[in-house]
Amino acid sequence: MGKQDKIFEEGNVSGLPFSFNQEVTEVFEDMIDRSVPGYNTTLRIIQQQTKNHYIDGSNIYDLGCSLGASTSSLLNALNGRSKVIAIDNSESMVRACTERFSKYIKTGQANFLKEDISYSEILNASIVVINFVLQFLNIKEREELMQKIYRGLVPGGILILSEKVHFDSKKRTEEISNIHHSFKAANGYSKLEISSKRDSLEGVLVTETESQHLDRAKEIGFKVSTKLMSNLNFLTYKFQK
C-alpha cells in the first residue's frame, strides 16, 4: 500500500477539478480502498470471471488501469496464458505501472499503454475490464466505447463493468449517498475531506442509473447481463456477447 490519502485534508486548496495527477497516483491505493465500498470484491470477481471466461488465443484488456490492481487480478487468473493490455491516460499512473509490473512486461505478459481509451484498439478480446472508469467519460464517448468493445469481443467474450450509479428517486440517491459518506467517515475521512473531494469531482465523475447502463448494453447487442456485485451505489456487471 502506498502513502495515506491526505489530499483534501485542508479542503480543495488548489480549487482545481479532480485529476489523476502525480499527487493522486502516490495515494491512489489508499484513496480507492477507503472510498469505494466493494472495491476489493470487484478485484476478486475479475480474477474468478477471467478463469471462467478466458478463451484460448484471445486478447485481454484492462481499460483505465490506474495502478494495475485489476491487471493483477487478470494476470493471476491467466497464469501466463495470454498478455494483458492495460491502458490509462494518466502519465503518472502508467509510469508507476511500468515500474511495478516490470517483470510481467519483460516476459511479455503485460503491456501498459498511455492512451485515451476512447481511441484504443480492441481486437479479438475474450475479457475486457472497465473497473470504475466509464463514469469519467462523456456520454457520447461511453456509447462509442461500449460499441467498440462489443465489436472487439469474440462471441462468448465478456465485459466486466463496475460503476458508481445514482437512482431514479432523488430521495434514494440522497439516502445511499449519505450512507456512502458514513462509510468514508468510518474509514477516517473528515467531513471537510468528503465534501471537498465531492466538489472537486463535480462534472468530472458523472454517474448514470443502473437502467441507463443496462439499456445501453442491450441496445448495443450484449445478450447476457448479470449483476455480480452491488454495494450501496457501486455496481459490477458482466455483459456477454
Nearer to ligand GEK, 117 or 125 (CB): 117
Provide the H-helix boundaries in the chain: 22-35, 39-53, 69-78, 91-100, 102-106, 139-152, 170-186, 191-201, 210-220
Q: Which stretch binds ligand GEK (CB under 6 A): 78-86, 116-124, 178-186, 216-224?
A: 116-124
What is the rounded distance in angstroms from the CA atom of residue 185 to the CA atom of residue 164? Answer: 18
Per-residue contact track with ligand GEK, 190 to 219, x per CB under 6 A?
A: ------------------------------
Q: Beta-carbon neighbour count of residue 224 at 10 Å?
A: 11
Nearer to ligand GEK, 118 or 223 (CB): 118
**Cell matching residue 137:** 467519460
Q: What is the CA radius of gyration of the chain?
A: 17
Q: Is 116 in the site for ligand GEK (CB under 6 A)?
A: yes
The CB-of-148 to ligand GEK minimum distance in angstroms stands at: 12
What is the rounded distance in angstroms from the CA atom of residue 144 to the CA atom of residue 133? Answer: 14
Of 90, 126, 196, 236, the residue at the interface with ligand GEK (CB under 6 A) is 90
Of 105, 136, 143, 206, the residue at the interface with ligand GEK (CB under 6 A) is 136
What is the rounded distance in angstroms from the CA atom of residue 182 to the CA atom of residue 188? Answer: 10
Binding site for ligand GEK (CB under 6 A): 20, 32, 64-66, 69-70, 87-90, 93, 116-118, 131-133, 136-137
